[in-house]
Amino acid sequence: MSVVEAPAIRIRGLERSFRDVSVLRGVDLDVAPGTIVALLGANGAGKTTLVRILATLLRQDAGTASVAGHDVRSDARGVREALSLTGQFAAVDEVLTGRENLALVARLRHLPDPNGVADALLERFSLVEAGRRRAGTYSGGMRRRLDLAMSLVGDPAVVVLDEPTTGLDPLARLEVWDAVRELATAGTTVLLTTQHLEEAEQLADRIAILHRGRIVQDGTLAELRALLPQATVEMVERGPSLEDVFLAVVGERPGLESPAGDAGTSEGER
């Protein structure tokens, strides 16, 4: 008989209000170990409030939530050891180098060999060449990759990403998507909040739709698509999207060569 693993994140009946405004109205959600679950919702749906409760930064009014088996209310320390939170904007120290940022977090977590930890994460996130440069010189995608690397110091079982591609250009967004996929491939559980439909489609094993403080649908992309009538097949000529054109012009997608003169662009200017 196969053994069913306990959810890495388990939420039941979670409620939270701010004065007279009910933000969460009975949220139920399970996140299986080693998967990416996208929490999809518009601004004001309650995504960040839910994330803050999971990270023990905010207390719920009712209901329960646990991370890696640790209750967020009764075992906050266990939750903090198991979970790493990455906010909407990269929380890197711009004065320090990439390597120094990582080593600092390793020291704060009292890990042996902080510099070794930093070097391993720079390698994992393809930041070795930039590791000795100040983080303030990094592009948006590099800064976010460094932020994700910092969130993995100490090997947390669960990583929560709160709208990780906010403010990033298309190239930087693709870099972050690749980094998130690598997290799940390595066995890390990822809860990703986003309001971008394409982001959820590209990354998530399951998608939960949060609307007016409740999970109104939860399933795989195929299961959610099955909720609507089957599409009729029509022959439509589709031209490239503006994003396709942009990525091709800057040389990040095959099919169109980069304009002449771009070869000298430095890593920090991208």
Give me the residue spans of the domains in the chain.
Answer: 9-224
Provide the pLDDT for residue 259. 44
Q: Tens digit of pLDDT for each residue in 238-270?
A: 777 666 766 676 665 554 444 444 444 444 444
- Alpha-carbon distance of 104 to 121, in angstroms, equals 13
Cα–Cα distance list, 188 to 113, 157, 165, 170 (Å): 22, 6, 19, 25
Using CB atoms within 10 Å of the CB of residue 134, give its burial: 0 to 12 exposed, 13 to 18 middle, 19+ buried: middle
- Alpha-carbon distance of 206 to 36, in angstroms, equals 7
221 or 259, which is more confident? Answer: 221
Q: Which residue has the tokens 């403010």?
A: 167
Percentages helix, strand, coil for the chain (3-state, rounded to 5) are 35, 25, 45
**Which pairing describes strands 158-162 and 189-194: parallel, antiparallel, or unpaired?**
parallel
Share of the chain above pLDDT 70, in %: 86
Confidence (pTM): 0.78
Q: Tens digit of pLDDT for each residue in 175-219?
A: 888 888 888 888 899 999 988 888 889 999 999 999 889 999 999
Q: Tens digit of pLDDT for each residue in 64-101?
A: 999 999 999 999 999 999 999 887 666 788 999 999 99
**One-letter-per-residue 3-state SS of 57-72:** CCCCCEEEEEECCEEC
Provide the pLDDT for residue 83. 94
- The architecture (CATH level 2) of 9-224 comes to 3-Layer(aba) Sandwich (3.40)
